[in-house]
Structure 1
């Protein structure tokens, strides 16, 4: 079994990921509010034509469900902080609770994949704060899923549990490398002039 199953390690991973995601979400919210007040506002992360939170916020993908996606992070990440603190406090949580955390982490991960694809391949502009959110969601999802596989919340054969315990960290690294490679390839012109 991986050390990740231990509540303390799991809680710390959740807490750090959720705090990073919450910070980026609140920074995005701040910039969004400033844009609502002044449509000509230049966001703090408008660096150049291909790195611009303002450009991404003006795309329809930034309000996928009819309201700014930012609100999902502003609500979701503090909830994950609450889960982390509950775990770190030593509470014994029921199986359904872990299924709820898994559902939230899976939704966040799936949504981030779609937002990454939209930013890199459709909008053609990167939002630095959004990328920080992606960076928080990736380990959060993998750690939650790993913990749930190793503790039996998600039923899995023994071999899958062994591989998960040994290689969960490699999955985090591979996902980060995939995202990084897609950005380098898609925006290669920005790096080479």
Structure 2
């Protein structure tokens, strides 16, 4: 029993030395909140896509103008990269993110291979999101409100999962790089969000300013 208490105190000491969002409970909260918002947005997209299947003339809830039009996005080939609507990937993927967050809040501990699997998953998801962003802005020439919500949630999921794995040694890194990620992840996250928003505004100023 004394050994268990000592181990528990040692683990608590290790946690307290980590950046706040690299600790299990705060990181779990981050995953649950961002995952839930992205999951809801993906769910709405699935419902809208099903409505379009039933009625090709259906006007989606985020068809605001020629530039902000979920319907235009959904009817594109890029919206079903694997042969089925992309939001189904979000339903599954963000469901996993929420589950991991809840498990961390319940005190679960995962092996290194599990964290590497999560890292691989969020990295692939981030690459996919970047591709979707580029297609929306430069190929389809339209925006999807709910898609942009998913983009916004994916950025902190990716950046803080990476920072967490570096802090815990899942991803090998020098002490200097660990300090850098500990101190600058929040800045990097905000910069990425601002750059994404700026790219959308610069590409489609008429959607926001009229004209």
TM-score by length of 1: 0.97
Q: CA deviation at 1:189?
A: 3.5
The CA distance in 1 between the partners of 2:22 and 2:210, in whole Å, is 44
The CA distance in 2 between the partners of 1:187 and 1:68, in whole Å, is 25
Q: CA deviation at 1:152?
A: 0.3
Q: Do structure 1's residue 66 and structure 2's residue 86 form an aligned pair?
A: no
Paired residues in the alignment total: 193
Unaligned runs of 5+ in 1: none
1:7 to 9, 24, 29: 24
2:134 to 101, 117, 122: 117
Q: Secondary structure at the match of 1:51?
A: coil
The CA distance in 2 between the partners of 1:93 and 1:192, in whole Å, is 50
The CA distance in 2 between the partners of 1:142 and 1:113, in whole Å, is 14
Post-superposition Cα deviations, 1:129-160, rounded to whole Å, max 9, x if no partner, equal 00001011111011110100100000011111
2:59 to 42, 63, 66: 42
The 5 Å alignment of 1:68-87 reads 68-87=85-104
Residue 186 of structure 1 is matched in structure 2 by 203
Q: CA deviation at 1:192?
A: 5.1
The CA distance in 2 between the partners of 1:46 and 1:192, in whole Å, is 15
Moved more, 179-188 or 39-48: 179-188
The 5 Å alignment of 1:90-169 reads 90-169=107-186
Q: Do structure 1's residue 20 and structure 2's residue 37 form an aligned pair?
A: yes
The CA distance in 1 between the partners of 2:75 and 2:95, in whole Å, is 25
How big is the alpha-carbon RMSD for the aligned residues of Structure 1 and Structure 2? Answer: 0.9
The CA distance in 2 between the partners of 1:71 and 1:127, in whole Å, is 16
TM-score by length of 2: 0.89
Q: CA deviation at 1:64?
A: 1.0
Post-superposition Cα deviations, 1:14-47, rounded to whole Å, max 9, x if no partner, equal 1111000100000000101100111110001100
The CA distance in 2 between the partners of 1:144 and 1:181, in whole Å, is 24
Larger relative contact order (Cα-Cα within 8 Å, sequence gap ≥ 6):
1
